[in-house]
Structure 1
Amino acid sequence: MTIDADTAISHSDRDLSGDDMDLHTDESAPEWGVFGRPLFDDPSVRHLSRIGVVDVGSNSVRMVVFDGAARSPAYFYNEKIMCALGAGLSETGRLNPNGRERALAALERFQHIAKGLDLPPLHVVATAAVRDAEDGAAFCAEVLEQTGLHIQVIDGEEEARLSAQGVLLGWPGAYGLICDIGGSSMELAEISNNSVGRRVTSSLGPLKLRDVKGGRKGRQVHIKDVMEGLRDQLGPQQDRLFLVGGSWRAIARIDMLRRGYPLKVLHEYRMSASDVRETAKFIENGDSNKIRSAAGVSSSRMALVPFASDVLLRLLTTFKPKDIAISSYGIREGLLYEQMPLRLRKRDPLIESAYFAESKDARLPGFGKQLFDFVMPLFKSAPKSRIRLVKAACLLHDVSWRAHPDYRAEVCFDNATRANLGGLKHSERVFLGLALQHRYRNKREGNRFEPLYELLDEKEQKQAEILGKAMRFGAMLWMQKDAELGKLKWYPKKKQLELLLPKSSRALYGEVGEARLKSLAQSLEAELVVKRRS
């Protein structure tokens, strides 16, 4: 196969989920280039390095402790209790007594954990069930008395805004419609230009839909009437639809099962309207217990899936979105985003996370920036969507060095494809993983990850190989941060790869280095020229 690396590393499809994000430059530090100086350790954001939030929902109560680079946070602690606070609310007007007791116990536990971790005060928000229940205020007072936690009860529009901000945390530059489904409500919000637009709320939560009279037909009529009212408020919404909430994630898991999808990562999983319709039939006609078990969905969540499925089908019919993306980020991430300064919000979450990983785990933090400059001549015509993957790969190229050499390549691939990273499509995860795998191994065949390669076409696989082999060679010239590595030049029309080797690096260009450079040239199908500077 012949690859022209002038166009080689140049695949880009305009996307509606942040692929066109600005490559932000920090004017005060131009030496950092288009991505700017990393901010994860800046004094202005250091207070966000570990922060705990609790979401008291109609179906579950969850505590998350964020850690690491705030712009792309890791989940230091994540626990969920299915309390069903909103079960029966439509009939009684009150919180489910058993759920209330379980939620109180969960919040008491979470407060003890927070104190044990020496966290700042937890941020606790409650949504539809607590705000709608006549005993919601009494529940909040009881929680305050017994745990010391102050619950902020938010209205539906605020819930929509926070969920939309959670999506923006993962997809800066995204635009489209956010749909957040909880137990007792469903919210919609517009996002564009890194901001949240119109927001609406509704009663289309699965726990409330269970109480609608008239069986499934009566429920479907009710859903249609409510959805048309939401459309009248929002108008046409035919861009991307971002789905937030546990019921949507359960449907996505089942869609993965039905399709035999190879990468079991929910965040940024894509579906079409036809996929959703086929999966709805699969759920309706299949054995619920078998599907639940095979897809890894809890029994309590599976009980709500048929109601959520009816809502999603009507949502697609009403708004006709371009396509659908699952977001694992929602209210809790929106609370974190709320506390970020604007300059941090503008940063690329992938690059910030990669900078953080390099500073924490690489043997020589800072070398990734040099390696990026070294390999970039091979990618000079690449679009920004590809350049950011090149940058991330260079920053991450050495963070798995502690793994056993026999498994280091696999560990790199596994980490890239399954790690909690924002701003990555599934195909980009595989591209990043494949490049890092080639950083440690020339060949990619014969391992357990081969089914994932199908998410990339043959050209993209070759591009990842070129990047990986370029990093593999560049790492051989590693001396110290800011040392001169040498310089690659690529002449795509002549099919010639040239290395300019300074005197200071000659001793590093031994037999192994030469073999790695020849392997890179072979992947480019190029003639190799080495020039030694005196």
Structure 2
Amino acid sequence: MQKKYYAIVDIGSNTMRLVIYLQEKAGKLREVENVKAVARLRNHLDDEGLLTKTGIDILISTLKSFKEVAETYHLTNTVCVATATIRQAKNQTEIQQKIQEETGYEMKILSGHEEAFYGYLAVVNSTAVTEGITIDIGGGSTEVTYFKSRNLLESHSFPFGALTLNQFFKHEQPLDDEIAELRDFLSKQFDSLPWLKSRAVPLIGIGGSARNLVQIDQNKKAYPLAGLHQYKITETDIKEISDYLGSLSLSKLEKVEGLSSDRADIIFPVIEVFHSLYQYIEAESFILSRKGLREGVFYEQLSKGLGTFLFPNVLEDSIQELINDFDLNPKQILHVQFLTRRLFFEFSNQDIGFLTDEDWMDVKRASYVFNLGEYIDSESSSQHTFYLLANRTIDGLLHLDRLKLALIASFKNKTVFNQFIDPFKDWFSKNEQKKLRLLGSILKFTYCLDATKRQIVEDIKVTSSEKTVNITLYCNQTWMPEEYQSEKQKKHLEKAIKKNITLEFVDTTN
């Protein structure tokens, strides 16, 4: 099957980007090329609101270089969009004509509402957040939206961005009165939108400035997981970063780990916007979305004909991607999940392990991808499973939930589990660690009950006494391989529940 590639050219006020996407088997888009140019077109708007000849020349030459890269792919579709600076330029028609003549690109100039809408669309189709406020700070504008039950309720585009806000600071290191003046300005801007005040929902940051904020935080904490998407921080984290950056000269800012050197001179006012809005809406957390305007444009295209812009279940789609990518057996997955459900609720009914509905969701999720690392190497399957799941972006899962998934789905034994969880011990209480080990041992045991992938175990019954748990397994075929594997692996479950386990296999064909 021929691969389908899509391209988007994003003409921003600060940067321009060409991004190439490959459409996956499950229908989603995966980024395969990302070319960035720091054009700072906003600085080339003159006093009359015209983009100068110099600015147009930079724009055209950058687009020509993008086109050379794009032509190395067989593209199904190319979209070229422009945001605040071109939107505000009074000679935008002339700019559009020149771009068409010299590059062949048909540039669409997005309204402030469209820009905000695409950011919202990217967030709700790539995270599990159902209610929140998004913010995307560009070079010349700032878009905010409010959504609830995944539906867009409010949106607005402020006519200020990272480049324009820099005018508040006349010194290399910001002064207290300059910061106070910026905060007062932002407060008045936010007051113009009554729907922002005291929402007490997550604040979701989109775009390069939000990415830099999160990268700085991760480097400062020596964060042990890979990935930025759906990373969560608090107001304290934002304030500490703001205080830290505000104390540095420009030359030192350019060397800060996680901060792009081309944003060093504009990052401080941006952080102040995040901090001020966080306080204004009384946010419960700040979450980064790596998916933004560009992804939103294509989410709109991919959803044409569906009657809705919203994908029904973000996490299910991500799990399906994993199943496809690692060639997992759907029939086996469904049977292991069925067995896991039966054993889980039998344990729950017998008051073994203090299991909850939330625990079931965790182990159910892991049952889709248990032992996924076998695709790479069967001997070190557990290690590969943990690394792949812990360090791969999974839309719909925050980092903590992604780590829980990795720990349960990679379970091999207590020793290996302790090795995996060791860098993250502070993330979980002792009881939470024991629960994750129990869930992992349950899943490993039920996986062994389908050792030959014949789905021979039809049902499970559990009885329990003070020291012993008896598990009866009802089978429709000969069970010798399953009996061997389950007898071999039950010790991990025994350690987790602190009881001896006896297994009884029953023939259902007589």
TM-score, normalising length: structure 1? 0.80
Equivalent residue letter for 2:480: A
1:337-348 → structure 2 map (5 Å cutoff):
337-339=299-301, 340=303, 341=306, 345-348=310-313
The equivalent residue for 2:404 is 431
The equivalent residue for 2:184 is 224
Match of 2:8 among 33, 53, 61: 53
The equivalent residue for 1:178 is 134
Q: Distance in 2 between matches of 1:51 and 1:388?
A: 35
Quick one: structure 1 residues 149 and 83, their matched pair in 2 at CA, closer, same or farther if it must change by over 3 Å? same
The equivalent residue for 2:388 is 415
Aligned to 2:105, the other structure's residue is in SS state coil
Is the contact between residue 372 and residue 391 of structure 1 (CA under 8 Å) also seen in structure 2? yes
The equivalent residue for 1:295 is 257
Match of 1:377 among 298, 317, 342: 342
The equivalent residue for 1:147 is 103
Whether 1:455 and 2:392 are equivalent positions in the alignment is no
Q: Distance in 2 between matches of 1:212 and 1:259?
A: 30
Whether 1:125 and 2:87 are equivalent positions in the alignment is no
1:58-457 → structure 2 map (5 Å cutoff):
58-62=13-17, 63-68=19-24, 73-89=29-45, 93-95=49-51, 100-172=56-128, 174-212=130-168, 217=177, 220-222=180-182, 224-235=184-195, 236=197, 237-286=199-248, 293=255, 295-339=257-301, 340=303, 341=306, 345-362=310-327, 364-380=329-345, 386-405=359-378, 407-439=380-412, 443-446=416-419, 450-457=422-429
Q: Distance in 2 between matches of 1:192 and 1:73?
A: 25
Q: After TM superposition, give the deviation of residue 212 of structure 1 in Å.
A: 4.8
Aligned to 1:401, the other structure's residue is in SS state helix
The equivalent residue for 1:526 is 499
Is the contact between residue 393 and residue 435 of structure 1 (CA under 8 Å) also seen in structure 2? yes
Equivalent residue letter for 1:61: M
Is the contact between residue 146 and residue 152 of structure 2 (CA under 8 Å) also seen in structure 1? yes
Q: Distance in 1 between matches of 2:255 and 2:465?
A: 55
Q: Distance in 2 between matches of 1:183 and 1:278?
A: 24
Is the contact between residue 271 and residue 324 of structure 1 (CA under 8 Å) also seen in structure 2? yes
Q: After TM superposition, give the deviation of residue 471 of structure 1 in Å.
A: 3.3
Q: After TM superposition, give the deviation of residue 53 of structure 1 in Å.
A: 3.0
Q: After TM superposition, give the deviation of residue 312 of structure 1 in Å.
A: 2.2
CA deviations over 1:391-441 (Å, ceiling 9, x no partner): 432222243224344543232222212212111111101101111221588
Equivalent residue letter for 1:530: L
Is the contact between residue 168 and residue 181 of structure 2 (CA under 8 Å) also seen in structure 1? no
Q: Distance in 1 between matches of 2:8 and 2:49?
A: 27
The equivalent residue for 1:41 is none
Is the contact between residue 131 and residue 147 of structure 2 (CA under 8 Å) also seen in structure 1? yes
Q: Distance in 1 between matches of 2:24 and 2:106?
A: 26
Structure 1: stretches of 5+ with no match in the other structure: 1-45
The equivalent residue for 1:472 is 444
Q: After TM superposition, give the deviation of residue 220 of structure 1 in Å.
A: 4.9
CA deviations over 1:295-320 (Å, ceiling 9, x no partner): 23220022221121222232234332
Q: Distance in 1 between matches of 2:253 and 2:91?
A: 37
Aligned to 1:432, the other structure's residue is in SS state helix
Is the contact between residue 114 and residue 122 of structure 1 (CA under 8 Å) also seen in structure 2? no
Q: Distance in 2 between matches of 1:119 and 1:440?
A: 47
Q: Distance in 1 between matches of 2:382 and 2:131?
A: 36
Quick one: structure 1 residues 404 and 104, their matched pair in 2 at CA, closer, same or farther if it must change by over 3 Å? farther
Aligned to 1:238, the other structure's residue is in SS state coil
Q: Which deviates the most, 167-176 or 153-162? A: 167-176
Q: Distance in 2 between matches of 1:252 and 1:145?
A: 40
Q: Distance in 2 between matches of 1:92 and 1:212?
A: 22
Q: After TM superposition, give the deviation of residue 178 of structure 1 in Å.
A: 0.9
Q: Distance in 2 between matches of 1:276 and 1:397?
A: 36
Between structure 1 and structure 2, the one with the greater Rg is: 2
Structure 2: stretches of 5+ with no match in the other structure: 349-354
Q: After TM superposition, give the deviation of residue 94 of structure 1 in Å.
A: 4.2
Q: Distance in 1 between matches of 2:477 and 2:52?
A: 73
CA deviations over 1:316-349 (Å, ceiling 9, x no partner): 3433222221211211222233232357835322
Q: Which deviates the most, 180-189 or 295-304? A: 295-304
Q: Distance in 1 between matches of 2:308 and 2:479?
A: 42
Quick one: structure 1 residues 464 and 351, their matched pair in 2 at CA, closer, same or farther if it must change by over 3 Å? farther
Q: After TM superposition, give the deviation of residue 199 of structure 1 in Å.
A: 1.0
Q: Which deviates the most, 90-99 or 501-510? A: 90-99
Q: After TM superposition, give the deviation of residue 514 of structure 1 in Å.
A: 1.6
Equivalent residue letter for 2:142: M
Q: After TM superposition, give the deviation of residue 457 of structure 1 in Å.
A: 2.9
Equivalent residue letter for 1:366: K
Equivalent residue letter for 1:450: D
Q: Which deviates the most, 229-238 or 99-108? A: 99-108
Equivalent residue letter for 2:231: Y
Is the contact between residue 318 and residue 394 of structure 2 (CA under 8 Å) also seen in structure 1? yes
Q: Distance in 2 between matches of 1:56 and 1:504?
A: 63
Quick one: structure 1 residues 384 and 362, their matched pair in 2 at CA, closer, same or farther if it must change by over 3 Å? farther
Q: After TM superposition, give the deviation of residue 277 of structure 1 in Å.
A: 1.4
Q: After TM superposition, give the deviation of residue 68 of structure 1 in Å.
A: 2.1
CA deviations over 1:359-386 (Å, ceiling 9, x no partner): 3423534322222112123544776765
Quick one: structure 1 residues 420 and 87, their matched pair in 2 at CA, closer, same or farther if it must change by over 3 Å? farther
Quick one: structure 1 residues 87 and 192, their matched pair in 2 at CA, closer, same or farther if it must change by over 3 Å? same
Question: In the comparison of the two structures, how many residue pairs are matched?
Answer: 488
The equivalent residue for 1:17 is none
Q: Distance in 2 between matches of 1:234 and 1:514?
A: 63
Aligned to 2:140, the other structure's residue is in SS state coil
Quick one: structure 1 residues 474 and 291, their matched pair in 2 at CA, closer, same or farther if it must change by over 3 Å? farther
Is the contact between residue 371 and residue 409 of structure 2 (CA under 8 Å) also seen in structure 1? no
Q: Which deviates the most, 492-501 or 518-527? A: 492-501
Q: Distance in 1 between matches of 2:52 and 2:168?
A: 17
Q: Which deviates the most, 156-165 or 410-419? A: 410-419
Equivalent residue letter for 2:411: H
User: Superposition RMSD on alpha carbons, in Å?
Assistant: 3.3
Is the contact between residue 496 and residue 526 of structure 1 (CA under 8 Å) also seen in structure 2? yes
Q: Distance in 2 between matches of 1:383 and 1:243?
A: 33
Q: Distance in 2 between matches of 1:358 and 1:517?
A: 27
Equivalent residue letter for 1:87: N
Quick one: structure 1 residues 479 and 270, their matched pair in 2 at CA, closer, same or farther if it must change by over 3 Å? closer
Aligned to 1:75, the other structure's residue is in SS state strand
Is the contact between residue 431 and residue 456 of structure 1 (CA under 8 Å) also seen in structure 2? no
Identity within the alignment, %: 21
Aligned to 2:410, the other structure's residue is in SS state helix
CA deviations over 1:45-81 (Å, ceiling 9, x no partner): x999754333221122221415326676432333333
Is the contact between residue 177 and residue 240 of structure 1 (CA under 8 Å) also seen in structure 2? yes
CA deviations over 1:259-285 (Å, ceiling 9, x no partner): 444334322222222221122111112
